[in-house]
Amino acid sequence: MRSPLVTARALTKRFGEFTAVDGIDFDVHQGEAFGFLGPNGAGKSSTMRMIGAVSPISGGTLTVLGLDPAADGPAIRARLGVVPQEDNLDQELTVWENLYIYGRYFDLPRRVILERIDELLEFAQLTERRNDTVEHLSGGMKRRLTIARGLINQPDLLLLDEPTTGLDPQARHALWDRLYRLKQRGVTLIVTTHYMDEAEQLCDRLVIMDKGRIVAEGSPRDLIARYSPREVVELRLAPDDHDRAVASLDGLARRIEVLPDRILLYTDDAEATIGDVFERGVEPESMLTRRSTLEDVFLRLTGRRLVD
């Protein structure tokens, strides 16, 4: 097997007294889409910045593309594409110019940049907007431009920090589609997200982070299988019935999660569970059956709802 593109052992990042990343281990392999899933402040972005060779590590070891970020930062960065959490495009410049100057930062020859810009504009569905300045683009377009910019050097590894945060559903799906195509072409992706559906859509393998540590690792399917039964029954009850219902539902499902506004029953057979609910005389105002998701895994692992 080929050696991993990224290897971290006991990787740690401290800011003064605060430990943002607390000794994590992971490997990212060629051609996979690897995810860091977790709430804000879990240490995802700090980890990404260390991988991006822009943030010195505070402890442990980190190898990126077989190189040491502390010694070979420029050589590593030459082969990375970075899509930061906040768009940091040059607002005054046009779409085309943003791509061009970025190509120059990589010291690519003009001829090469011109060729790639045309391809990337096509890929990012921005060909029509090539001469518009960035300030006139929608959020989704800016995101796609930032991704196109990160591809100007044909990177071996693309780092995406919360790629769809703040986008509307259409723009999000359009972006996932683009990222999926990149994966098909063999680009290795590392994605951070606090969206469960995004992790499920994009990642072959992921780690769940909480408070600077990795609390679980696996494929989305594995994690759901391991940490959450297959189906979830969500009950919504009148506020007055809530507490009484909780008492009578005891022991009815593999796991019961009581949230302020509803009760979640984790079960392998939703239909049977619903039958049991009515048998015990609980009459919910509304009810919903769904497949269990990474959100459920997260809830299970950290005991908290995912906060934005």
The residue ranges that bind other proteins (CB under 8 A) are 15, 52, 54-56, 73-75, 77-78, 80, 82, 84, 86, 88-93, 97, 100-102, 104-107, 109, 133, 149, 153
Is the CB of 137 or the CB of 253 nearer to other proteins?
137
Q: Rounded to 10 degrees, what is the CA torsion of 274, 276, 278, 279?
A: 160
At its nearest, how many Å lie between other proteins and the CB of residue 163? 15
Is the CB of 26 or the CB of 96 nearer to other proteins?
96
Is the CB of 15 or the CB of 180 nearer to other proteins?
15
DSSP label of 133: B
Place of tokens 């696996």: 218
Q: How far apart (Å, rounded) are the C-alpha atoms in residues 216 and 24?
A: 11
At its nearest, how many Å lie between other proteins and the CB of residue 105? 4
At its nearest, how many Å lie between other proteins and the CB of residue 113? 12
At its nearest, how many Å lie between other proteins and the CB of residue 92? 4
Q: 193, 211, 169, 173: which is closest to 85 by C-alpha?
A: 193
Is the CB of 82 or the CB of 270 nearer to other proteins?
82
For residues 190 and 34, the answer to whether their CB atoms sit within 8 Å is yes
For residues 140 and 179, the answer to whether their CB atoms sit within 8 Å is no
Handedness of CA 72, 73, 78, 84 (dihedral sign): positive
Q: 125, 115, 192, 126: which is closest to 154 by C-alpha?
A: 115
Is the CB of 97 or the CB of 222 nearer to other proteins?
97
At its nearest, how many Å lie between other proteins and the CB of residue 124? 16
